A and B are shown apart, each in its own frame.
Chain A
Amino acid sequence: KNQVEQSPQSLIILEGKNCTLQCNYTVSPFSNLRWYKQDTGRGPVSLTIMTFSENTKSNGRYTATLDADTKQSSLHITASQLSDSASYICVVTSGYSTLTFGKGTMLLVSP
């Protein structure tokens, strides 16, 4: 069964600090991996999409990494801002169009 596990479940950091969120997956066959940011009460917004051939992908202060061998991805947030407070969801595509969602990491950036 395809699974996506995210850790930690929740995280509190001080404004200006960096943090790293983890995503481990057991999905086959792997097509791509996406990271989404979801603000409270809003729909998820895409941050990055990576295929197995990509190790790193950046979007501003967000940097995603992918290790297809160990089936792990991470999302690194640099110099956090209050507006980074949100849920971050890892989504893996397998085969033609099957999506498997992680349950998300809730990040709170404190002033």
Chain B
Amino acid sequence: DVKVTQSSRYLVKRTGEKVFLECVQDMDHENMFWYRQDPGLGLRLIYFSYDVKMKEKGDIPEGYSVSREKKERFSLILESASTNQTSMYLCASSSIRLATYNSPLHFGNGTRLTVT
């Protein structure tokens, strides 16, 4: 079974802090994604990566950055956390093309981040 592991289930940080959210997958997947999920808004794509050291902005990249130094690990960085970044953060991974029928998208269990 594919495992996508997010390092923290719950995190509480103060405004202005630098926050690191870590995600590791064990299936040698090329693609990795970071989403945030808010009530009434669904999942929104923050950043994604198709390869090591490669990153692409999603729909809502402002206030975030990412790092992918190794294929299995994709980190989301909040440079200076703000209260409007309080949310559920979900990491996902998949093999090459999501358009391919047998290319499932696997999610981690999420990190509930609260910024006070």
A interface residue numbers (CB < 8 A to B): 31-32, 34, 36, 41-46, 49, 51, 89, 91, 93-97, 99, 101-104
Which residues of chain B have a CB within 8 Å of any CB of chain A?
Answer: 4, 31, 40-45, 90, 92, 97-99, 101-102, 104-110, 112
Asked whether, in the complex, the Cβ of B110 is within 8 Å of the Cβ of A99, the reply is no
| Docked-complex contact B110 and A42, CB < 8 angstroms | yes
Q: In the assembled complex, which residues on chain B have CB atoms less than 8 Å from the CB atom of A43?
A: 4, 90, 92, 107-110
Known: A49-B101, A96-B97, A97-B98. 16 other contacts (CB 8 A): A31-B98, A41-B109, A42-B109, A42-B110, A43-B4, A43-B90, A43-B92, A44-B90, A44-B107, A46-B106, A89-B43, A91-B105, A97-B31, A99-B98, A102-B42, A103-B42
- Chain B's closest residue to A50 (CB) is B101
- Who on chain A is nearest to B6 by CB? A43
A97's partner among B97, B102, B110 (CB-CB below 8 A) is B97
Contact partner, A104, options B31, B42, B90, B98, Cβ 8 Å: B42
Please name all residues of chain B whose beta carbon is closer than 8 Å to the beta carbon of A41 when the two chains form the complex: 109-110, 112
A41 to B112, CA, bound (A): 8
Report the minimal beta-carbon distance from A46 to chain B, rounded to whole angstroms. 5
Given contacts A41-B110, A42-B110, A43-B109, contact A95 B99 (CB under 8 A): yes
CB pairs A–B below 8 angstroms (19 shown): A31-B98, A34-B105, A41-B110, A43-B108, A43-B109, A44-B107, A46-B104, A46-B106, A91-B105, A93-B98, A94-B99, A96-B97, A97-B31, A97-B99, A99-B45, A99-B98, A101-B42, A101-B43, A101-B44
In chain B, what residue has the closest Cβ to A104?
B42
A95 vs B97: C-alpha distance in the bound complex, in angstroms?
Answer: 10
Q: How many angstroms from the CA of A89 to the CA of B102 in the assembled complex? A: 19
Q: Which residues of A contact B90 (CB under 8 A)?
A: 43-44
CB contacts (< 8 Å) of B107 on chain A: these are: 36, 43-45
